[in-house]
Chains A and B, each alone.
Chain A
Amino acid sequence: MNRETAVHVPMEVEELETEPITLNIGPQHPSTHGVFRMKVQLQGETIVALEPILGYLHRCQEKLAEGHTYLQSIPYTDRLDYICSMTNNHAYVLAVEKLAGIEVPRRAECIRVIMDELTRLLNHALAVGFLLNDMGAWLTPVQYGLREREKILDLFEMASGSRMMCNYMRFGGVAHDLPEGFMPLLRKVVAEFPGFIDEYERFLTTNEILLSRCKYVGILPPDRAIAYGVTGPVLRASGVPYDVRKVDRYSLYGEIDFDVPIGTVGDVYDRYLVRIYEMRQSVRILEQAIRMLEETPPGDIQSKVPRSLKPPIGEAYGRIESPKGELGFYLVSDGSEKPYRWRVRAPSFVNLTPLEEMCRGHKVADIVLILGSIDITMAEVDR
Chain B
Amino acid sequence: MTDAEWIALRDRMARALPAGAFEEGPADGVIHVQPRSLLYVGRYLLETEGFDYLSNVTGVDWLAEGEFEVVYHLYAMRRGARIARGEDPGGPLGPLVLKVRVPRERPVVPSVTSLWPSALWQEREVYDLMGIRFEGHPDLRRIYLWDEYEDHPLRKDYAPKED
| Residues 106-163 (chain B) with a chain A CB within 8 angstroms | 116-118, 120-122, 125, 129, 142-146, 153-154, 158
The 8 Å CB contact of B78, one of A58, A226, A345, is A226
Report chain A residues within 8 Å CB of B84: 241-243, 246, 259-260
Residue of B nearest to A249 (CB): B83
A55 in contact with B118 (CB, 8 Å) = no
Whether A343 contacts B83 in the complex (CB less than 8 A), given A227-B117, A317-B95, A350-B121, comes out as no
By secondary structure, the B interface counts as mixed
A58 to B116, CA, bound (A): 25
Cα of A326 to Cα of B122 in the assembled complex, Å? 15
Asked if B56 and A349 sit within 8 Å, CB to CB, the answer is: no
Tell me if A317 and B56 are in contact (CB < 8 A).
yes
Q: Is B71 an interface residue (CB 8 A)?
A: yes
State how many residues of chain B have any CB contact under 8 Å with chain A: 38
Contact of A20 with B by CB under 8 A = no
Identity of the chain A residue whose Cβ is nearest the Cβ of B154 in the assembled complex: A63
Contacts known (A226-B78, A229-B54, A345-B56); A54 close to B117, Cβ less than 8 A: no
- Is A240's CB within 8 Å of the partner chain B? yes
The majority secondary structure among interface residues of chain A is mixed
> Is A13 in the interface zone, CB < 8 Å from B?
no
A366 interfacial by beta-carbon distance below 8 Å: no
Q: Is the CB of B118 within 8 A of A228?
A: yes
Please name all residues of chain A whose beta carbon is closer than 8 Å to the beta carbon of B71 when the two chains form the complex.
330
Report if A62 contacts B (CB, 8 A).
yes
Interface size for A (C-beta < 8 A) is 37
Cβ distance A250 to chain B, nearest Cβ, rounded Å: 13
B117 close to A330 (CB less than 8 A)? no
Across the interface, name the chain B residue whose C-beta is closest to A328.
B56
Judged by a CB distance under 8 angstroms, whether A332 is at the interface is: yes
Given the known inter-chain contacts A62-B129, A63-B154, A314-B27, please indicate yes or no for A55 contacting B143, CB distance below 8 A: yes
